[in-house]
Copies of this chain bind each other. A is one copy, B any other.
């Protein structure tokens, strides 16, 4: 995918703990197929220097002095040929996990990961995988399983009201909804008033926000 097959995978470490940094660097350089090309103690100097020190994979800590590893990842993705970023952090809370992935991280490992697995993970990332610590993977998967916001709003509504709400939230005018459902304009208005009553909203937009799960984030 990148470079020649025989070349070593170039790794950069962004980690503020000098000890950890050194340990990782040592581990990587001691692994066949990997080479640590640079280490940085903060996101700013990493971003500034990255042009000249191109890496294939970046091991990124989240908690850094100044700019966070997540923000750095986001910044990195806006560039021409962004390296693959793997988060390596002590925290595994949902917020940081999902924010990291949204920012563009390809993997997410906890610092408790054994060295051997860490090395495997770097290779996996490079070859198109997305290694995650066990608990992380489960949370990511679980995030798909949350009942969709739709289900909540739908609870109290009658079948017809749900149909109306769906069209309503897609921006259709009353007239258009009436035509689609082949009912009268006044009927649509009645349904909508009932919907508003049940959802405790006063406008189409509030209803839409509830329907689509607007109260998130």
Asked whether B141 lies within 8 Å of A101 as measured between CB atoms, the reply is yes
Q: Which chain B positions have C-beta within 8 A of A148?
A: 102, 217
Asked whether B101 lies within 8 Å of A209 as measured between CB atoms, the reply is no
Asked whether B144 lies within 8 Å of A138 as measured between CB atoms, the reply is no
Task: With both chains docked as a complex, state the minimum distance between the C-beta of A204 and any C-beta of chain B, in angstroms.
Answer: 5
| Number of identical monomers bound together in the oligomeric complex | 2
Which of B102, B138, B171 is the one whose CB lies under 8 Å from A205?
B171
Q: Which chain B positions have C-beta within 8 A of A137?
A: 129-132, 137
Q: In the complex, how many residues of chain A place their beta carbon closer than 8 angstroms to a beta carbon of chain B?
A: 41
Residue of B nearest to A74 (CB): B151
Q: Which chain B positions have C-beta within 8 A of A134?
A: 124, 127-130
Is A6 engaged at the interface, CB distance under 8 Å to the other chain? no
A105–B124 alpha-carbon span in the complex (Å): 23
Which of B101, B105, B144, B205 is the one whose CB lies under 8 Å from A98?
B144
Q: Which chain B positions have C-beta within 8 A of A130?
A: 132, 134, 137-138, 140-141
Asked whether B171 lies within 8 Å of A138 as measured between CB atoms, the reply is no
Task: With both chains docked as a complex, state the minimum distance between the C-beta of A148 and any C-beta of chain B, in angstroms.
Answer: 6
Is A145 engaged at the interface, CB distance under 8 Å to the other chain? yes
Is A106 engaged at the interface, CB distance under 8 Å to the other chain? yes
Residue of B nearest to A206 (CB): B171
Footprint of B on A, CB under 8 Å? 98, 101-102, 104-107, 124, 127-132, 134-135, 137-138, 140-141, 144-145, 148, 150, 168-171, 173, 201-206, 208-209, 212-214, 217
Which 7 A-B residue pairings sit nearest by Cβ, starting from the closest?
A129-B134, A171-B206, A130-B137, A101-B144, A130-B141, A171-B205, A130-B138
